């Protein structure tokens, strides 16, 4: 936002249409929209009930799986796909819990909003002139998920990533799932003593972020979001050793 505000002041008016300035404005606009999407996700997540019963969480996971898994034989209408769009539209619609009214009521409305909007309008007209709506949706959805997983990456412990990786092949009893926690508590004993981190707190972080669920039988299962997060780590070459200590 600061860069967008500075450009009109520092750049002569006859230079505004130069390609380097247009690219700069578009790039800053992308960052701004992704930040807005991230704020919406945080507000949505804060409004979610965290302490639901085990049976309710199992039911919610089942519904989530049904909404995310493409139906066999389904295909997106050709009119909704642009040639440059590699994202399929075969996933059934799920409204989720995003409240746009609450979001816009509490969001910061910047005077630079029109600058960002115009940058997106120009870019949509350039790359997908016949399907601008799909461009806007892709920028918002891809950007929001990217920011969400980036935030998880900066807060998750390496022992938690190891535990999720161990779950990726199926379910584990909770006493086996906690092995990375026990190993980290020995390797980083001083850090554990300072933070007073308990196994329950260590696991609650992954439960609250919907990376796993614990069944009433005390079997731990990774969720679709948990598997997707591990794919994100591979896609960006995130080394588990580069994650936070513990």
For residue 214, the cross-strand partners are 220
The DSSP code sequence of 95-118 is -TT--HHHHHHHS---TTHHHHHH
Q: How far apart are CA 193 and CA 95, in angstroms?
A: 43
Whole-model pTM: value is: 0.58
Q: Which tokens in the block code for residue 221?
A: 């299962």
- For CA atoms 35, 41, 43, 45, the dihedral sign is negative
Q: How far apart are CA 226 and CA 230, in angstroms?
A: 6
- For CA atoms 58, 60, 61, 65, the dihedral sign is positive
Q: How far apart are CA 156 and CA 150, in angstroms?
A: 10
Q: pLDDT tens, position by position, for the chain (246 residues)? A: 555 555 555 556 555 555 665 666 566 667 666 766 666 565 556 555 544 545 555 555 455 444 444 333 333 333 343 444 444 444 555 556 678 888 888 988 898 989 988 998 999 999 999 999 999 888 888 988 999 999 999 999 999 999 999 998 778 999 999 999 999 999 999 888 888 889 999 999 999 999 999 999 999 999 999 999 999 999 999 888 888 888
Report domain extents, the chain.
2-66+96-146, 156-242
Q: What is the CATH number of domain 156-242?
A: 1.10.10.10
């Amino acid at each position: 936002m600061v860069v967008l505000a500075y450009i009109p002041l520092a750049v002569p008016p006859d230079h505004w249409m130069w390609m380097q300035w247009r690219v700069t404005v578009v790039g800053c606009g992308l960052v701004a929209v992704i930040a807005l999407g991230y704020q919406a996700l945080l507000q949505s997540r804060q409004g979610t009930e965290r302490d639901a019963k085990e049976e309710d969480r199992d039911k919610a996971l089942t519904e989530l799986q049904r909404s995310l898994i493409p139906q066999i034989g389904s295909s997106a209408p050709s009119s909704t796909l642009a040639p440059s769009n590699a994202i399929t539209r075969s996933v059934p619609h799920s409204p989720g819990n995003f409240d746009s009214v609450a979001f816009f009521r509490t969001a910061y409305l910047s005077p630079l909003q029109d600058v960002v909007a115009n940058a997106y309008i120009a870019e949509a007209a350039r790359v997908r002139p016949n399907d601008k709506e799909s461009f806007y949706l892709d920028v918002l959805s891809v950007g929001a998920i990217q920011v969400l997983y980036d935030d998880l990456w900066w807060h998750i412990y390496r022992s938690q990533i190891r535990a999720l990786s161990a779950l990726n092949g199926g379910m584990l009893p909770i006493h086996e799932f906690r092995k990375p926690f026990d190993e980290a508590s020995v390797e980083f004993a001083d850090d554990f003593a300072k933070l007073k981190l308990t196994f329950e707190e260590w696991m609650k972080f992954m439960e609250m972020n919907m990376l796993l669920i614990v069944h009433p039988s005390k079997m731990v299962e990774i969720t679709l979001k948990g598997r997707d997060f591990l794919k994100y780590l591979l896609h960006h070459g995130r080394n588990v050793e580069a994650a936070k200590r513990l």
